[in-house]
Amino acid sequence: MLKALIFDVDGTLAETEELHRKAFNETFAEFGLDWAWNQALYGELLKVAGGQNRIRHFIETGQPKQAGDFVDRVAELHRHKTQTYGRLLAGGQIRLRPGIKDLILQAINKGVRLAIATSTSRINVDRLFAATLGEAVLEHFDVICCGDDVAEVKPSPQLYLLALKKLQLPPENCLAIEDSEIGLSAARSAGIPAIITVSTYCQQDDFTGAQEIMTDLVSGNFAL
Ligand SMILES: [Mg+2]
């Protein structure tokens, strides 16, 4: 029996990745770096979850100019990027994906518990809700597990295992909602069934092991 929905955030609740990419690029420019992540490169970098990990991976594998100067300043770059992302989000450029609002309301009405398991930081979750459904809706989420809460983000199962522990539910009573291969892999490694709503950046991902793959969560596709 389904007792809780556990949502991923970026790509699943909203198509936020273009705004993240913009925030990274604005940050690099403000630090005087000529690093610029185009969509193709960002698509590759998304295989690494968590902003700091992503910058570090880029420095190591892309060997951009001034890489040496910034290898120890990743946390600083990322803090700036988070501020920039918050400013862009507050600018109202993001809408929730189709069906998300109704599904959240349906879950609240039917007593299906709500949780979040995301590699992103808590402030990004708060700001996304503030810019869309309103921050008060987060009070309906019993459990919110973010990248700051675990040692290893997705595809490690740690975020999902922590969510299960806090929900005090076995994995079979939960359903993860994800948009990416690394997210699916994290949920499945924690034993949680998962459905995929395909997002712009993850269309080429391998979704083997997903219970269902759908374009979005509108009621014709999915209902509680
Ligand atoms: Mg995602």
- What's the pTM value of the predicted model, to 2 decimals? 0.94
Specify the pLDDT at position 220.
84
Catalytic (active site) residue 8: yes
Residue with tokens 């994995």: 171
Q: Place 5 in a pLDDT band, splitting at 50, 70 and 90.
A: very high
Domains of the chain: 4-15+96-214 (3.40.50.1000), 17-90 (1.10.150.240)
Residue 23 CB burial class (10 angstroms; 0-12, 13-18, ≥19): buried
* Mean per-residue pLDDT, 176-187: 98
Q: In the numeric block, which tokens belong to residue 37?
A: 């992540």
pLDDT by residue (tens digit) across 91-102? 988 999 999 999
Rounded to the nearest whole angstrom, what is the distance from the C-alpha of residue 111 to the centroid of ligand 1?
25
Rounded to the nearest whole angstrom, what is the distance from the C-alpha of residue 120 to the centroid of ligand 1?
9
Catalytic (active site) residue 10: yes
Q: Place 223 in a pLDDT band, splitting at 50, 70 and 90.
A: confident
Distance set, CA 161 to CA 118, 191, 196 (Å): 12, 9, 19
| Ion ligand 1 — residues with CB < 5 Å | 8, 10-11, 179-180
Query: Distance (Å, rounded) from C-alpha 21 to C-alpha 65?
Result: 19
